[in-house]
Every structure is written in C-alpha cells, then in structure tokens.
Structure 1
Amino acid sequence: MSVALDIAALGARAQAMIEELGAISASPDHLTRFFLTPEHRRAADLVGRWMREAGLEVSEDALGTVRGHWHPAGPDAPRLLIGSHIDTVADAGKYDGAMGVVLGILALQEIVRAGLSRPYGIDVLAFGDEEGTRFPTTLSSSAACAGVFQTASLNATDAQGVTLREAILAYGNATDDIPKAAYATGGVIAYVEAHIEQGPVLEAEGEPLGVVTAIAGASRLSVTVTGEAGHAGTVPMRMRRDALPGAAEMALAVERIAKADRHGMVATVGRMHIDPGSINVIPARVTFTVDLRSGSDMSRREALERFEREAHRIADQRHLGVVISAFHEVTTVPCYRDLQLRLRNAVADLGHRAPLLPSGAGHDGQAMVNLCPVGMLFVRCKGGISHNPAEYASPEDMGLAAAALIRFIERFQLPQLDGATDGAQN
C-alpha cells in the first residue's frame, strides 16, 4: 500500500506549524527558547497537541522530551524513532530542530490516516536540550532516552545559578524518573532525523534533500587566561601582564590549527569574558570558549594537543597563567549505511538525487547512537544560514522531506540493524 502524497499541502502545513512554533519565545523581538523554561513548556504543549491531532498517544519524560506513540503492532513491538529538538540558541532561526519535529509529525499523520500497518511501532520525539544554550549539558534529553544520561550533570548551573536538578523540578518533573526515560536495549530499531543542512552544499548542487554520512565529533573547552590588573595609563607596555592580548593570540592559534587540518575541521571562539572589564584597567583575567569539530576523531584530538601546547607557550612568553578544561566531548558518529541507502531510495522515488554529505553540526544522533543505528536526512536551507533569524527552508523542500519520510516508512520493515557503524561512510 502506498500513501497518496500531496507535497504542496505537506509543505504548506509544515510552514504554518513552523511559524506557530516560532512565535513561542522569551522575547517578542527575536526567537529564544531555552531548555526547561516557560517557553519550552509552551512549545512542548503545542507539539503534544499536534501529536494528538495526528492520532498519536502522547507522553513526556523527566527531561521534557515529548513523545508521540504509534503502535499498530502493540506496545511491546520494537520501535523506529523519528525526532529532533525544540530548544533554540539565542536570537535563533525557526527551522533548526523544530522542522524535524514537525516533519516527523506530518509524516506519521499521513501514515495513520492511510491506515498503513507496520510490524513495529514509531515514536516521534521532541527533545529539549540539543543546543546546550542554558546549561553546559548538551544532549541531556536524548542521552536520557538512550540510557546514557550522566547524573553528575544535574549539578550543572545556568547563568542565573539555577541547577539542572532545580530546573527539572520547576518544570514539574522528577529527577528520580530520569532512568524511566531510557528505551529498552534492543527495543529500538533505528533513530532517523530530518534537519536543515545548516550549510551551502545542497543549494550549490541544486538539490532539495541530502543524506548524511556522519556527524562530526566535537570538543568544547573553557580557557582561562590570568594576568595582572593595572592602570591603563601608567604601566609601560613592556611591563604589562595583559591577559587579553594573550587570549587573543591563543584564539588565533585555534584558527591557524583548524585551517591547517585536512579533515574539514572548524574552530570557533564563541564567548570571551574580560575582567575587570573597565575601559581604563588592564585586563587581569579572560575566559573564552573553544568549539572544535572534525570528521576525524584522531585529527580533532591531535588539534587539541597542539592547541594546549600553543596556549602554554603563549602564556609562558607573556608571563601569564592559563587553565584549559573540557566541558563537552562527543565522538564522530557515522550514519548507518543501510539507513543511508533507504533514505536515498525514498528521495529517488520522488524524482530527486540525494547527495551524500557529512554534518559539521552536532545533533541528537550523537547521543542516540548509544541506543541504536542513526540516519539523517538533510533539507536545503537558503544561503546555508543557520543559528540566525535569516534561517529558511522553503515549503516545497519541506514538503518533499515529509514525503521522503513517508516513503521511507512505507518500505521500512524489520532489518537486522546490528550496529551503528558497520559499513558506514565517514
């Protein structure tokens, strides 16, 4: 049985849902929706309503992941998981994460309406902590689903000093219920996510959809450089221990190391805090972050070692102190070859070629791979822009992506997916 597809209608519905979800924000002027905030609660409630309207049963776990359940083969049958996240960065675009949740709901709604039966169940998941913008606990929602949540992260604090434990309780959930969020080992067939590309490749190739080969590994560091405060007008340049030029030189070293890499490495210094931060005082302390990503775990680790050596050399040369600590580390996740093939075939059924390409951005699949094989479908985004209000995917492309998920589900039986990396392209 094949579901009749109205791609234009799917795209129009996706756009309307994206706009409705995008209106839920902590600010009336831009989109900001952090994990376990009142805005997250409102978004989760909206997503839950959409799931019910699609004919799904709805539940929510301790980390706030909203789950829409369809179990034609019974509640004990193995599950195919389709999902993404509904949290955002500050001043975000509307499509990152949210689009994948919307497309999963729309695809399953069409499957349910058509009366299609499967020998497995499907859960649509709306995670809440993919961006890591409130707490230094990126992927805690999906980690809980995968059974790899780190209890120590409950002590992590946000900018207001609120711990993750306190935020969960304020959200109305119980930390004692976190173990219940984990899917049973062996009870999940695969995890599949549709996501905007967040890059320019599909647009350059003139293709609306692509299939991901691997999610790049990532390391995040906090670097603290210490010097000595002094009067900006009285301390001679040769006698200064200015923390800011030292930090700036270290930031340039990160850039130089990434540019020299041959595995598509990217490095970003996204935050820099200066103390005491006065216009007429020499900076005594600078703390900055480093985000380092690569499709090769070996090259990423080598780059981290080179940066540490460079940072200490710069600090010694400038008579400064430096402390480097890692607060986030995920390895490269190859997407399962069988899922790549099935997604490409689904796109081909719609008359399009799906290029194979890696993801330089992080995704919930980096946690879910601890549970099951992972596959990803990319959707073209205008100018490759993401984490920006200008982020955009057309209704036509979103309609095609929803249709591809429907075709994927139609053909998806119970394969022997016994490993997430077997035969995967990296």
Structure 2
Amino acid sequence: MQHEYTARAEQIMRRIQELAAISEDADGVTRTFGTPAFLEGRALVQSWFEAAGLPTRVDGIGNLRARLESPNRDAKTFVLASHIDTVVNAGKFDGPLGVLMGLDLLENLLAQKAELPFHIELIAFSDEEGVRFHTTYLGSQVVTGAFDHALLGRCDEAGISLDQALEAMGGNASQLSLDAIPAAEWLGYFELHIEQGPVLWERNVPVALVTAIAGQRRVELTFTGMAGHAGTVPMAMRQDALCAAAEFVLIAEQFAQVHGRGLVATVGKLAISHAASNVIPGAVTCSLDLRSPDEQQLAQAYDFLHSHAEALALQRNVALEWKLVQQTAPVACDGHLNTLLARAIADAGYETISLVSGAGHDAVPVSFVAPATMLFIRCYKGISHNPLEDVEMPDLAAAVEVAERFLNELKIKNEELKMG
C-alpha cells in the first residue's frame, strides 16, 4: 500500500515541477493573478482536471472548479481547495500542492468508482496572495458569497482596475454573486498546505493538524517631511521622513519581541520617493503586517503602534498617513472535522502535532460559512515564499495517505448520520 502512496506522490511532484516551469520571470516562480503566466498555469491545471474526467469550469473571478457528484442530488458539498496564484519570486509548493493533492484524491475516487454520500468540489482559487490588487482571498470570498463589489474599482500599479483585469482574463464581474456556494449547501472544507514554518522540519514529522489561523492587520504608512540638500540643511533642522520610518520599523520589531505569545510584526516594504544619495528623503511609504491568534492582542498591538507612529511623527515634525488596508480576525478550525483528521493521522501511524498557522489561508473566509480544517505538510527548514521552498517525497506520500484516510472517515461519518 505504501508503494501506491509513493507512486501517487511522484505523480503529484511531476505536476508540481511542470507547473513551476510557468512563470513571469526566469529566476523563481511568479504567477500573480490575471497575468499571462497565471492564465497559462491555470490552463495546464485545467487540462489535468479534464483529463481525469472531471466536469470543470472557470468562474467569474477566475477560480478553476471541478466537481464530483454524489448520486444523492440533495447531498451537501465538501470542498477541497487551495490557490494557484503566487507571490513574487515564490516557491513551487505554496498553494498548488493542495490543489494537485486534491486532484489526486478525486482521481483515486474515480478509479474506485465509489459512490459518495456528498458532492466534492475541487477548487483552484485564483487569488489568495493578493499581490496584484493588495486584497487577499478574492477567489474564496466569491465562493463563500463574501465578495465586496467595491473592490472592482481597485487598481493595480499599472492603473488597471480589478473589473478591467477580470474582463481581460475572460471573467465576468456580473456573475460573481452567482458563483457562491450557499451556506446551507456546504458540508465542510479541507485544505492541504505546506507548513511554512520549521516545527515539522525540526521534529521530523510529516504532517500536522491545524487548530487555528492567526488574524491579520495590514497597514500602509506614509511619513512626509521635507526634501532638502544633504550638504546644506543642518541636522537639527531636518524633517527626514526616512529616519521617522526607520525608527518606526524598530519600534514595531521591539514591541513584538517583548509581547510575544504568537504576535509577530513585519515591515516588508519601504519606498522612498525621489530617492537620491544627496537628498534628504521627503516622503517614505512602508508596510506593517501584524499577526496574532489572539484578537485582543492583535487589537492592542495595532492601537499601540498607531499611537506610537503618531507620536513619532509629531516628535520628528513630519506628517503621518496611516491606512488600514486589510483586516481578518483569527479563526478556529472545526472541532468535529479536526477529530476525524486527527484520527486519520494516528491511524496512518504518525504523531499528532497541533499547530496554529501564522500564515493566512483561504480557510479563513470559508470558516465563516462552513466547518473548515487544514493539514500541514512538512517543508524544507520551514522555508516558504522563497525559491528554496521544497517538500520531500516521503512526507508527500505520508500526506496523501492521511488525506485519503480523512476522506474515508468523513464518508463513514456521513453514512452513519444518514442511517441514524
């Protein structure tokens, strides 16, 4: 039996490598939402869905969706999903691994000609990372009925609106509300994903149970001072926007280090307007990414750093623009589904490790309409959002076995409920 899981893992890995060869650049893997590389990659995944004999369609936001029907037309729908967009200079596994593992599970069910007590929908979400329009979860928000139509006017760095991008990629903004799965029709949601952290790597365990997903707040800050000649403006008379931004970066780091308990703070972007070596920076824009599994802690960190940024701007005689660009609350994975998943892990012979995800996932918006669970898969040194991202074959084979056992547990549970 283990040989079969290894063979299936090898097929998944071949597809991962083939998809990773499609990129906007030659150095890493970059397929951001709606770009030619994204569309080419989606077409490749669609060809695999269709070759498996799955009825497949692309919805209005660009999600790729395949469906395996139960003979019971009134049955609820269980969703297997992850995303196929990437960050810039990404790894090969973040997102696509979950989609291609889901395809493997459906291919195996088709081969068994098994009758399902529920429908299964496999979804490759079009936009989870939010790189192009700075909005995460576009694909899953449409599927859950939570899409904000005001986002259609949001523009990328080239001035192209989301509405225009959808039209260019063959999408249809007018049908987005029709693409949602009604809340009453959901049975649940299962996402397979690399851990994106070092716990499994250090403990040499192939999989883990996700119990919760940290909440996030993302902010765009702009410090505006006065540009001036680097050689003629005295130090005491400067309104240096970059010095203000640099001090804020350290305040954010120190606050997160002191308060801990899962709180992390990151400034990942810093843009200096009209930068030159002999000019005092007049305007600097930076990002702030706050995450915590505790909503109260997240709110307190947000308020503290906001007030300190204002005080810092006042002290340095610069203006501050503080703009909240994204906010998601922490969510807990479903207890009943996690019980079944924990049983599948134990039955496969592995230690059951429970982890909180510091990264965001499409399971977040889904959790507001349906029970959701996630399985983490061990990755090389916990590295992610990086070309070094990697998964070893034995870990992938183990994850395939656990995922299949979980689906079998879910089928048994639903058949028992039906008979009861």
Q: TM-score, normalised by structure 2?
A: 0.96
Per-residue CA shift, 1:265-308, capped at 9, x if unaligned? Answer: 11111111111211111111000000110010110000000001
Question: What is the CA–CA distance in structure 2 between the aligned matches of 1:117 and 1:125, rounded to whole Å?
Answer: 20
114, 117, 133: which is aligned to 2:115?
117
Give secondary structure in 1 for the equivalent of 2:245: helix
Per-residue CA shift, 1:119-151, capped at 9, x if unaligned? Answer: 111011100111111111110110000000001
Alignment-derived partner of residue 359 in structure 1: 357
Question: What is the CA–CA distance in structure 2 between the aligned matches of 1:355 and 1:119, rounded to whole Å?
Answer: 29
1:103–1:398 Cα contact (<8 Å) kept: no
Alignment-derived partner of residue 291 in structure 1: 289
Per-residue CA shift, 1:328-365, capped at 9, x if unaligned? Answer: 10000100111111112112222112300100000001
Question: What is the CA–CA distance in structure 1 between the aligned matches of 2:53 and 2:231, rounded to whole Å?
Answer: 70
The answer to which of 71-80 and 268-277 deviates more is: 71-80
Q: Which amino acid aligns with 1:270?
A: G
Alignment-derived partner of residue 256 in structure 2: 258
Alignment-derived partner of residue 228 in structure 2: 230
Question: What is the CA–CA distance in structure 2 between the aligned matches of 1:72 and 1:47, rounded to whole Å?
Answer: 23
Report matched runs for 1:266-305 at 5 Å: 266-305=264-303
77, 80, 85: which is aligned to 1:79?
77
Pairing 1:411–2:409 present: yes
Per-residue CA shift, 1:347-384, capped at 9, x if unaligned? Answer: 22221123001000000011111220110000000100
The answer to which of 3-12 and 74-83 deviates more is: 3-12
Question: What is the CA–CA distance in structure 2 between the aligned matches of 1:257 and 1:149, rounded to whole Å?
Answer: 34
Alignment-derived partner of residue 199 in structure 2: 201
Structure whose residues are more often helix by fraction: 2
The answer to which of 130-139 and 3-12 deviates more is: 3-12
Q: TM-score, normalised by structure 1?
A: 0.95
1:84–1:194 Cα contact (<8 Å) kept: yes
CA RMSD of the aligned region, Å?
1.4
1:71–1:77 Cα contact (<8 Å) kept: no
Q: Which amino acid aligns with 2:247?
A: E
Per-residue CA shift, 1:52-78, capped at 9, x if unaligned? Answer: 222311111111111110002255421
Pairing 1:152–2:150 present: yes
Alignment-derived partner of residue 214 in structure 1: 212
Question: What is the CA–CA distance in structure 2 between the aligned matches of 1:295 and 1:77, rounded to whole Å?
Answer: 34
Report matched runs for 1:50-199 at 5 Å: 50-199=48-197
Question: What is the CA–CA distance in structure 2 between the aligned matches of 1:181 and 1:219, rounded to whole Å?
Answer: 27
Question: What is the CA–CA distance in structure 2 between the aligned matches of 1:18 and 1:76, rounded to whole Å?
Answer: 35
Alignment-derived partner of residue 28 in structure 1: 26
Question: What is the CA–CA distance in structure 1 between the aligned matches of 2:136 and 2:412, rounded to whole Å?
Answer: 31
The answer to which of 342-351 and 182-191 deviates more is: 342-351
Question: What is the CA–CA distance in structure 2 between the aligned matches of 1:415 and 1:400, rounded to whole Å?
Answer: 23
Deviation at 1:156, TM superposition (A): 1.2
1:62–1:175 Cα contact (<8 Å) kept: yes
Would the alpha carbon gap of residues 415 and 163 (structure 1) be closer, same or farther in structure 2, given more than 3 Å must change? Answer: farther
Question: What is the CA–CA distance in structure 1 between the aligned matches of 2:48 and 2:166, rounded to whole Å?
Answer: 24
Alignment-derived partner of residue 422 in structure 1: none
Would the alpha carbon gap of residues 285 and 241 (structure 1) be closer, same or farther in structure 2, given more than 3 Å must change? Answer: same
Per-residue CA shift, 1:219-253, capped at 9, x if unaligned? Answer: 00000101001101100101100000001111111
1:216–1:294 Cα contact (<8 Å) kept: yes
Per-residue CA shift, 1:27-56, capped at 9, x if unaligned? Answer: 123211000111111111111121122231
Question: What is the CA–CA distance in structure 1 between the aligned matches of 2:104 and 2:251, rounded to whole Å?
Answer: 46
Q: Which amino acid aligns with 1:251?
A: V
1:61–1:180 Cα contact (<8 Å) kept: no
Question: What is the CA–CA distance in structure 2 between the aligned matches of 1:112 and 1:76, rounded to whole Å?
Answer: 20
Give secondary structure in 1 for the equivalent of 2:183: coil
The answer to which of 393-402 and 88-97 deviates more is: 393-402
Deviation at 1:4, TM superposition (A): 9.0
Q: What's the % identity of the aligned pairs?
A: 38
2:219–2:324 Cα contact (<8 Å) kept: yes
2:78–2:187 Cα contact (<8 Å) kept: yes
Question: What is the CA–CA distance in structure 1 between the aligned matches of 2:215 and 2:412, rounded to whole Å?
Answer: 29
Q: Which amino acid aligns with 1:328?
A: Q
Question: What is the CA–CA distance in structure 2 between the aligned matches of 1:283 and 1:116, rounded to whole Å?
Answer: 65
Question: What is the CA–CA distance in structure 2 between the aligned matches of 1:112 and 1:333, rounded to whole Å?
Answer: 33
The number of aligned residues is 414
1:54–1:106 Cα contact (<8 Å) kept: no
